[in-house]
Amino acid sequence: SLTYAEAASVPVVAVTAWQALFYHAQLKAGQTVVIHGAAGNVGSYAVQLAREAHLQAIATAATDDITFVRDLGANTVIDHQTQRFEEKVRDADAVIDLVGGETQNRSFQVLRRGGKLISAVSNPDQKLAERHGVEASFFLVNVTRQDLAEIACLVDGGKLRTRVGAVLPLADAREAHLMLERVRTPPKGKIVLDVGAR
């Protein structure tokens, strides 16, 4: 059901979201998850997958991304530019950290004892985890055929939306890297290199 560019944009980010929610956080219907960076490439899939799994999704996003994240299916969206999420959230079952840094460290405060902080960005502080009585881990995605098949079913069933931000010819790979490094303004959505384009 996807164009080649859309299909190329899906695997790593969608499987990262899938594995964070279901393999590492082991979330079940009715549980609450906080998703940081919810408007980003992994975050937008995490919000949609949380909706499909009947999780209570609390998402953090920038002011101009609030409507987009709400439309993806987040139950609550917190504007991280004007609000402190740790003042709004208590006793979450899990946090999916796609931001790192200070956001990650502040996230320990919103978890219930026994909750899980899962980061796809950096290793969480184990002393903070111990102090708050939670599990905290970093993971690298392992894209598998089984996970891709599950995601493909959801995409073909109209349950997941893709977001391609830019399609560039392979000759412009340097420009793509400058966007990723924020030297150039990055698009909202995945950057895809088209090896057939001139």
Identity (one letter) of the amino acid at 47? V
pLDDT bin (cut points 50, 70, 90) of residue 198 is low
Residues 6+ apart with CB under 8 A from 95: 33, 34, 35, 36, 107, 110, 111, 115, 116, 117, 118
**What pLDDT, on the 0 to 100 scale, is given for residue 196?**
86
Can you tell me which residue has the tokens 């490094």?
Answer: 181
Reported as half-sphere exposure (CB side, CA atoms, 13 A), residue 175 has a value of: 12
Query: Please, which residues bridge with residue 60 across strands?
Result: 78
What is this structure's pTM? 0.95
Q: What pLDDT, in 10s, does the model give residues 159-172?
A: 999 999 999 999 99
Q: What pLDDT, in 10s, does the model give residues 77-119?
A: 999 999 999 999 999 999 999 999 999 999 999 999 999 999 9
Query: Please, which residues bridge with residue 168 across strands?
Result: 193
What gap in Å lies between CA 48 and CA 50, rounded to an integer? 5
Q: Do 49 and 17 touch, CB atoms closer than 8 A?
A: yes
Nearest to 91 by CA among 26, 29, 25, 32: 32
What gap in Å lies between CA 97 and CA 139, rounded to an integer? 11
Say whether pLDDT at 197 is over 90: no
**What pLDDT, on the 0 to 100 scale, is given for residue 22?**
98
- What domains, with CATH codes, occur in the chain? 4-138 (3.40.50.720), 163-198 (no CATH)
Query: Please, which residues bridge with residue 95 across strands?
Result: 34, 117
Query: SS3 for 40-97, per residue?
Result: CHHHHHHHHHHHHCCCEEEEEECHHHHHHHHHHCCCEEEECCCCCHHHCCCCEEEEEE
Q: What pLDDT, in 10s, does the model give residues 14-73?
A: 999 999 999 999 999 999 999 999 999 999 999 999 999 999 999 999 999 999 999 999
* E strand residue ranges, the chain: 32-35, 56-61, 76-79, 92-97, 111-119, 135-138, 164-169, 190-194
Cβ neighbourhood burial of 62 (10 Å; 0-12, 13-18, 19+): middle
Residues 6+ apart with CB under 8 A from 82: 63
